[in-house]
């Protein structure tokens, strides 16, 4: 029997079903973005806690961030290959399971009171988060029209920012509030066991849910490109390589500014706040990113991603200049508002960078996640700069980072293959 000729009604019905499937998938994926934002921000609680438990120096305590972000550098490219072979859904499930194993590893690390084991557990946890990022970020970009990819990724990243805003409060309650000076070292170390066991349980439940639910199957080879697919590697795409640099400097600038906020507010020229008081204002920095992402998700339905990137980058540069060359409350408010400018940058750079990669989408995603290692390197560079020219002047470094992001929004994201450039 001949197949029935599709009518307009049948085509509209198919489109509606596809739209519904995409909506369900995107709603489910927001839970992942929230979880890895929540887990990542718990490091801000772990650092002072483990520093006190093991009597660490500041450089030793910062190994927590280096191990966490180091996983992005070492695992991102292999994760891209894994996702290419397994697909997005199985990559997500595997990432959740690995992250849960990392959380479970905190239990023996605390029982044995071993700082190296804690670092190993963090590396395993971050490896799972890396695989989640390599799977989920491009999947969100692909689920729908390419023109609104930045908007979709911005919305899901807003829930990531919600996780980073809430996590410190829960971490302080579940870890720091349950630790007393009269406790033994063993008791203080064991304070992290229950919170991370709860996290492991939540991650395993999410893994079971994602293994069970049906998500739209999108073949990476089916992603249409405006230009012919370049055989070989994602590295042959100029806009991806520049996007990786953009992710490196963005994450580096965002983490670096956040790392120096307490010291900046403690400066008598700025606010002269005690460290405990200054720490509370960090929530405004990360909260601004969350609010900005919800706003950006709606606004970027009508504004081109490149233009939004240029506007936010220039706004960030102006605000940092105000923070450098003024003092008091004006400088304080200006640096906090940079968080609002940061809001749309990561999802916008990411979606622009992987657009048109076709069969190289997973590899490109791995390269971009690898660039998150900027969060470990740029803060150290600003630290050296602060020692040399002063803390306030050291914020000149993030200005160069945002200047590059503005360039990427202006022309760096345009599709020109490196092979084509070599022929010119």
Q: Specify the CATH number for the domain of residue 55.
A: 1.20.1250.20
Q: What is the DSSP string of 137-202?
A: HHHHHHSS-GGGHHHHHHHHHHHHHHHHHHHHHHHHHHTGGG--TTS-HHHHHGGGHHHHHHHHHH
Last residue of a domain, one of 167, 186, 216: 216
327 and 416 inside one domain: yes
171 and 48 inside one domain: yes
Determine the structural domain holding residue 274 and report its residue range.
229-424
- Residue 144: inside a domain: yes
| 193 vs 314, higher pLDDT | 314
The pLDDT confidence band at residue 347, using thresholds 50, 70 and 90, is confident
243 and 179 inside one domain: no
- Residue 7: inside a domain: no
- Residue 132: inside a domain: yes
150 and 245 inside one domain: no
335 and 233 inside one domain: yes
336 and 367 inside one domain: yes
pLDDT digits (tens, 9 = 90+) for 350-386: 888 887 777 777 778 778 878 888 988 888 788 878 8
Last residue of a domain, one of 160, 188, 216: 216
120 and 233 inside one domain: no
248 and 311 inside one domain: yes
Ranges 8-17, 87-96, 183-192: which has the least confidence: 8-17
115 and 264 inside one domain: no
211 and 244 inside one domain: no
- Residue 3: inside a domain: no
| 87 vs 401, higher pLDDT | 401
Burial string for 17-40 (b: 16+ CB within 10 Å, else e) reads eeeeebeebbeebbebbbbbbbbb
- Residue 354: inside a domain: yes
59 and 163 inside one domain: yes
* pLDDT mean over 94-115: 90
Instruction: Count the domains in the chain.
Output: 2
Report DSSP state, residue 226.
S
pLDDT digits (tens, 9 = 90+) for 42-73: 776 776 677 777 887 656 776 777 788 888 88
pLDDT digits (tens, 9 = 90+) for 248-275: 999 999 988 887 787 788 889 998 876 5
Last residue of a domain, one of 216, 237, 263: 216
284 and 395 inside one domain: yes
- Residue 43: inside a domain: yes
Assess whether pLDDT exceeds 60 at residue 11. no
CA distance 422 to 424: 6
User: Would you report the helix, strand and coil content of the chain in percent, each value rounded to 5?
Assistant: 80, 0, 20
Phi, psi of 237 (to 5 degrees): -100, 115
Q: Where are the alpha helices (DSSP H) in 3-105?
A: 8-41, 43-53, 58-61, 63-86, 88-104
- Residue 1: inside a domain: no
- Residue 103: inside a domain: yes
């Amino acid at each position: 029997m001949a197949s029935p000729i599709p009518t307009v009604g049948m085509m509209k019905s198919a489109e509606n079903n596809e739209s519904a499937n995409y909506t369900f998938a995107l709603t489910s994926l927001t839970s992942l973005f929230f979880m890895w934002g929540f887990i990542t921000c718990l490091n801000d609680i772990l650092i002072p806690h483990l520093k006190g438990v093991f009597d660490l120096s500041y450089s030793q305590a910062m190994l927590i961030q280096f191990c966490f972000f180091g996983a992005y550098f070492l695992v991102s490219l292999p994760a891209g290959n894994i996702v290419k072979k397994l697909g997005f859904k199985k990559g997500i499930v595997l990432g959740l399971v690995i992250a849960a194993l990392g959380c479970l590893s905190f239990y023996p690390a605390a029982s044995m009171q071993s700082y190296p084991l804690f670092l190993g557990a963090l590396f395993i946890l971050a490896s799972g988060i890396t695989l989640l990022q390599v799977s989920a970020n491009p999947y969100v970009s692909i689920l729908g029209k390419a023109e609104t990819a930045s908007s979709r990724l911005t919305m899901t990243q807003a829930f990531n920012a919600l996780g980073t805003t809430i996590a410190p409060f829960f971490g302080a309650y579940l870890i720091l509030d349950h630790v007393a000076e009269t406790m033994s070292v063993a008791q203080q170390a064991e304070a992290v066991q229950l919170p991370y066991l709860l996290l492991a349980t939540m991650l395993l439940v999410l893994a079971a849910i994602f293994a069970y639910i049906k998500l739209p199957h999108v073949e990476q080879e089916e992603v249409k490109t405006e230009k012919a697919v370049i055989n070989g590697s994602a590295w042959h795409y100029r806009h991806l390589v520049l996007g990786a640099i953009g992710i490196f400097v963005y994450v580096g600038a965002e983490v670096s500014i956040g790392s120096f906020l307490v010291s900046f507010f403690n400066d008598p020229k700025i606010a002269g706040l005690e460290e405990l008081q200054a720490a509370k204002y960090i929530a405004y920095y990360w909260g601004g990113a969350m609010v900005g992402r919800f706003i950006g998700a709606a606004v970027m339905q009508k504004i081109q991603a490149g233009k939004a990137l240029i506007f936010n980058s220039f706004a960030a540069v102006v605000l940092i200049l105000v923070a450098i060359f003024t003092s008091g409350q004006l400088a304080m408010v200006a640096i906090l508002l940079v968080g609002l400018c940061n809001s749309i940058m990561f999802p916008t750079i990411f979606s622009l960078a992987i657009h048109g990669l076709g069969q190289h989408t997973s590899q490109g995603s791995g390269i971009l996640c690898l660039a998150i290692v900027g969060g470990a390197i740029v803060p150290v560079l600003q630290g050296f700069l602060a020692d040399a020219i002063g803390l306030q002047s050291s914020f000149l470094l993030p200005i160069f980072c945002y200047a590059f992001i503005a360039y990427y929004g202006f022309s760096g994201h345009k599709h020109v293959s490196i092979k084509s450039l070599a022929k010119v």
